[in-house]
Structure 1
Amino acid sequence: MTKTFITRTLSALVALILLFAAYYFLQVPGIKLVCYLLVLIGGYELINILLPKNTGKFHKGLFYTVLILIFHVAANYPAFAVVAFSLATVLFLVLSLLWDKAFTELDSLVQYHAKSVLGFVYLGLLPSYAYRLLELNNGLIWFLTLLAVVFAGDIGAYVVGVLIGKHKINPRLSPKKTWEGAFGGLLGSTIAGYVCSQFLPQIPLNALLVTAICAGFVAQFGDFFESLMKRVADVKDSGKIMPGHGGVLDRIDGVLFASPVIMMVASLFESY
């Protein structure tokens, strides 16, 4: 436990230092660049998880290009996000059908389409909400609140799960996750929500605590969902870029699921 925990902690600290450096030198645009970088790296990892190993370069490139396009439009032009998603998906389907020689069976082509559209939602739309938080009043604080709630939940779940976790939630998806750890994670998210409330005095404390609990709850399922994708693809980690964590997707899976929750509440209060 000690060695793994130290490795994970050091890896997380390096990530936080890089994030701080991006803000220190470039302010909010630096954080936005980090978001783009994470999507670019995560998109590459997602190809290795969702798409079969025998998928041709054209289809992998098409998936990656459309994914980045959807994220860019959804993040910077939210009013056109739905239309852009629809048009990009149609374009993707048309081009992949015109170039379907790599698929010897119709089932494999359908699976490619279905998994690709799932990827567009997962890493095209979801991270755009975290990005758009930075556009709001107090956007940086909301963005940090999102990270704090998710990562505090991760730490709480890990520590409590290792110390007293006995009852498994779903061994098929994640053999180590326990109910005790899940409650520890919610406690960590709640504490993080309380701390962040001190920097958002205009937001009712009860509302922010409920938001932190809801975001922490769905963040844990974000972890389960990524575990499900990796199990199906027979992949242990999405990548190796972060020692102790795995790949980028292994680190931001909870953030992806929690970002629409934080965005909804932040937009509601910032609109007044």
Structure 2
Amino acid sequence: MKSFLTRLISAVFGVIFVLAFWHFGQIRGLKILALLGVMVGGYELVRILFHGVDSLWNRGVFYFFLLCIFTLSCLHPDHAALVFAFFSICFCLMSLLTQKKFANLEALTSFQAKSILGFFYVGLLPSFAVRILDLPQGVLWFSTLLAVVFGGDIGAYIAGVLFGRRKLMPMISPKKTVEGAIGGLLCSMLVGFFFSRLLAQPILPLLILSAATAVVAQFGDLFESQLKRVADVKDSGRIMPGHGGVLDRIDGVLFASPILLFGAILLENRLV
């Protein structure tokens, strides 16, 4: 109960924090908040992926490239894939030229692979969430993304505590259950139904989109759990009591954002 109250209080302050950026900066404020989130999340990712194995120089270069990918992908969303490819190739070339900094070929290859994964995970994926803000009704669609993902988190937590019996993927996340995942999915769909009224969109397509977004968000949560388990860390950070770090909060949002963006584009253009 104490843990749940801590999580609830942190979540309330998190919502207030987001609303404050919206109040003072509107869409620009939310984009600045996204940049701050990527800056902190990128720092946490360095700790997870490299956890003291690679040199400070290597980690610093990775962090700089990651921020470049995110920033330029937001400024030029139609060329986000090209930005990602360009910086990934440049990074690989740079690491090859500085290969003497690595103990052996395996260390070099591991660093390159982890870095490109990191560029995709915290560099490219969050740019899709920012792009949602530029859609017609962008703020409502962005709110839908957050509400579906976080609503699913709450539903999964409550259903898991009350009904959880069968483990979902114990090797990756021992506490997650099948019942919790189903509860989270149903809660996300309920949120999607509510937002279908606000967005003036057909109920069935938005329910399907909410379900797809929720499922992918749960896999995003599992993916981050996998990274943390390999790195042998419990949380990505300690910035939010009861929730861990920024990545612990937005792992589902990162995976779900391109799904919701794609669905929102289809619905806004009446393609479904």
Shift of the alpha carbon at 1:46? 0.3
Number of the residue aligned with 1:221: 219
Number of the residue aligned with 1:259: 257
Equivalences for 1:28-177 in 2 at 5 Å?
Answer: 28-177=27-176
TM-score (norm 2): 0.97
**Distance of 1:248 and 1:222 partners within structure 2:** 14
**Distance of 1:144 and 1:54 partners within structure 2:** 39
**Distance of 1:76 and 1:11 partners within structure 2:** 31
Shift of the alpha carbon at 1:54? 2.6
Alpha-carbon displacement from aligned partner over 1:213-237 (angstroms, at most 9, x marks no partner): 1100111111100000001111110
**Distance of 1:52 and 1:156 partners within structure 2:** 32
Number of the residue aligned with 1:230: 228
Number of the residue aligned with 2:208: 210
**Structure 2 unaligned runs (5+)?**
none
Instruction: Decide whether aligned partners of structure 1 residues 28 and 141 sit closer, same or farther in structure 2, where only a CA change above 3 A counts.
Output: same
**Distance of 1:52 and 1:251 partners within structure 2:** 20
User: What SS does the corresponding residue of 1:101 show, helix, strand or coil?
Assistant: helix
Shift of the alpha carbon at 1:127? 0.6
**Distance of 2:60 and 2:100 partners within structure 1:** 15
**Distance of 1:86 and 1:177 partners within structure 2:** 35
**Distance of 1:91 and 1:131 partners within structure 2:** 25
Number of the residue aligned with 1:24: 23
**Distance of 1:157 and 1:212 partners within structure 2:** 15
Identical positions, percent: 51
Number of the residue aligned with 1:246: 244
Which stretches of structure 1, 4 residues or more, deviate above 4 A after TM superposition?
A: none
**Distance of 2:142 and 2:75 partners within structure 1:** 16
Superposed CA RMSD: 1.0
Report which stretch shifted further, 253-262 or 68-77: 68-77
Alpha-carbon displacement from aligned partner over 1:130-161 (angstroms, at most 9, x marks no partner): 10000011000000000000000000000010
Alpha-carbon displacement from aligned partner over 1:7-39 (angstroms, at most 9, x marks no partner): 111111111001001111111111111100000
8 Å contact kept, 1:55–1:102: no
Letter matched to residue 122 of structure 1:
Y
User: What SS does the corresponding residue of 1:249 show, helix, strand or coil?
Assistant: helix
8 Å contact kept, 1:152–1:189: yes
TM-score (norm 1): 0.97
Aligned residues: 270
